[in-house]
Amino acid sequence: MNQLNSLIIAILSTSLVLPFAYTATSQQLSNQANSVLANNTLSSEKIRQLAQSITVKVFSPNKGGSGVLISKQGKTYTILTNAHVISTKGTNSIQTFDGKTHAATVISRGDSLAGNDLAVLQFQSQENYQVIALANNSNLSENKEVFAAGFPDDSKEIVISNGKISLLSEKSLVGGYQIGYTNEIRQGMSGGALLNQAGELIGINGLTNNAILKETYFYQDGTRPSAEQLQQLRQLSFAVPIQTLAKVAPNLAIIPPEWRNQQQATIPAGNTFVDKVDNIAQQITVRIDSQNNGNGSGVIIAKQGDTYYVATALHVVKNPDNYAIIAPDGKQYAVQQSNIFKSEGLDAAVVKFTSNQTYAVATIAKYNLYYSWQKPWIFLSGFPQQAAGKRKLTAGLRSYRKVSISIRAESLDYLNNLIDAGYDLGYTNLTQPGMSGGAVLDALGQVIGINTSIEPKGIGEKQELGLGLGVPINSIFGLLTKSGLKPELLQVVNQAPPKLTKTEINTIKNHPLFVAQKPSENALELVWQSLQN
């Protein structure tokens, strides 16, 4: 078993769930719609009553744990839990204190193995449930009493343990864990609340004491604790601070402005052209989720009234399934089958969704992609399946000529024996499963194509193994007309980017976004080769 798999097991072991029936009988607090404004110290009994009202059970395929009700807007409730508690495939549901089960939608999800181990879900209900107040963690200090709540695997009832904060780590552990405390946390309590004496939410439980692997206690920046520090860390349970929510779901209305400002202040301002391309890509790239076929990517290319048009790869949406668009702000939009328009000769499709929110629209490049014999730098934007909802931008060189590949039917069965899938773009960019359908961008952030595939082994002659493949954006204009879009609504430019200077090329090669990382030991051969291109 490699270290990554072992680390996953160590973290997930805090949240494996058995079916249960909620049987807590303690008196419930008043079910008011607004957050509890708990500015004064509450009795232990009041805090326990509060914890029972706002703690939910989270069910997901093969996983699960606990969660916390943090907001209500109309009939929509928002739940905060751990990223490792929920599943990216299949459906998630929650059970409230009254024993009722509700279907839940994932709004935002962090990275439990690298970023921050938080996730946000929402559900609809006519019931009036209690929600919790978010604490200002600037008032945290060691030796303060705290209460941890959740549903252990081995209990049908909620467990609320009390203890004290023992460590406030300046640096975040893997998953964003910083608050160390003496409370007992049992398997299944991941995603539950860590409350202060005022009954406010200060963090989310997620890491039990004495985790199996030392890697669990590595810091996010890659450094490792000393042997003495490791001994101290292993004695404590850990929670992700509540202010980390501003990193995982910055657009939630309940997040105080000062948290957003603090988060922005910690992100170095990028003024290079690479940062500008990445910013454009972030605003126009969407994730396309399915119930049974994993995720893909797409790019917003037009807006007509309240209808947005997303270009993607055909194989991302080809199979009958329940699809959803995850917009750049984390909002999720169900896709009707009638709003999926498929090409008959290209690995390309257009998907429509409706929203009253304002999203950026891509600028489409209509110039000759093969205007010179040079290999221009280009960028790919998409959502790798292994990145737990985090978008990735990769850089590479585009082929100076058209890529002409004859594809055997058995190589790409999702194309139903199509011989020419429209793969006229070739590039050296790293592309991973889940990034199909994402944007291919030039150095000005203009969309030149749709990322579709990696050249399969043994196909094509005189082609580099592992070459990225894409469909030029110009090829899908007919498909856009089929979808009902008026061509004049497209933002089209005819000017190619100027040749990059040596300084700009060095900026690409040294930019933090493109620092090569060693793939896992069982990574596909094509991943290794892409890093070497």
Q: What is the pLDDT along the chain (533 residues), one digit of tens a residue?
A: 444 444 433 443 433 333 333 333 333 333 333 344 444 789 999 999 999 999 999 998 867 899 999 999 999 999 999 998 987 677 899 999 999 999 999 888 887 776 789 999 999 999 999 999 999 866 788 999 999 999 998 788 999 999 999 999 988 898 999 999 999 999 899 999 999 999 999 999 999 888 876 678 888 877 788 888 888 999 999 999 999 998 888 878 888 888 877 665 554 456 788 988 999 999 999 999 998 878 899 999 999 999 999 999 999 999 889 999 999 988 899 999 999 999 888 889 999 999 988 899 999 998 887 655 567 899 999 999 877 678 999 999 987 555 544 443 333 444 443 334 556 788 888 888 899 999 999 999 999 999 987 644 333 333 334 568 889 998 888 888 888 888 888 888 888 888 888 888 888 888 888 855 444 444 333 333 333 33
Calculate the alpha carbon distances from 385 to 111, 153, 392, 490 in Å.
11, 28, 11, 30
Q: C-alpha angle 289/293/294, rounded to 5°? A: 50
Q: Is 259:357 a contact under the CB 8 Å cutoff?
A: no
Strand partners, 471: 450
Calculate the alpha carbon distances from 131 to 35, 71, 76 in Å.
5, 6, 12
CB atoms within 10 A of CB 143: 7
How many whole angstroms from its chain centre is CA 29? 34
φ/ψ bin of 172: left (φ > 0), alpha (ψ from -120 to 50), beta (otherwise): beta
**Separation CA 440–CA 450 (nearest Å):** 6
Three-state secondary-structure class, residue 318: coil
Pairing of strands 363-365, 491-493: parallel
Instruction: Give this prediction's pTM.
Output: 0.51
DSSP code at position 367: S
Task: Give me the phi and psi of 274, to 5 degrees please.
Answer: -65, -45
By C-alpha distance, which of 160, 185, 175, 202 is closest to 236? Answer: 185
**Separation CA 106–CA 94 (nearest Å):** 12
Q: Is 333:353 a contact under the CB 8 Å cutoff?
A: yes
Calculate the alpha carbon distances from 294 to 83, 256, 309, 385, 402 in Å.
17, 34, 21, 7, 30
Calculate the alpha carbon distances from 209 to 27, 117, 216, 420, 438 in Å.
31, 16, 11, 56, 41
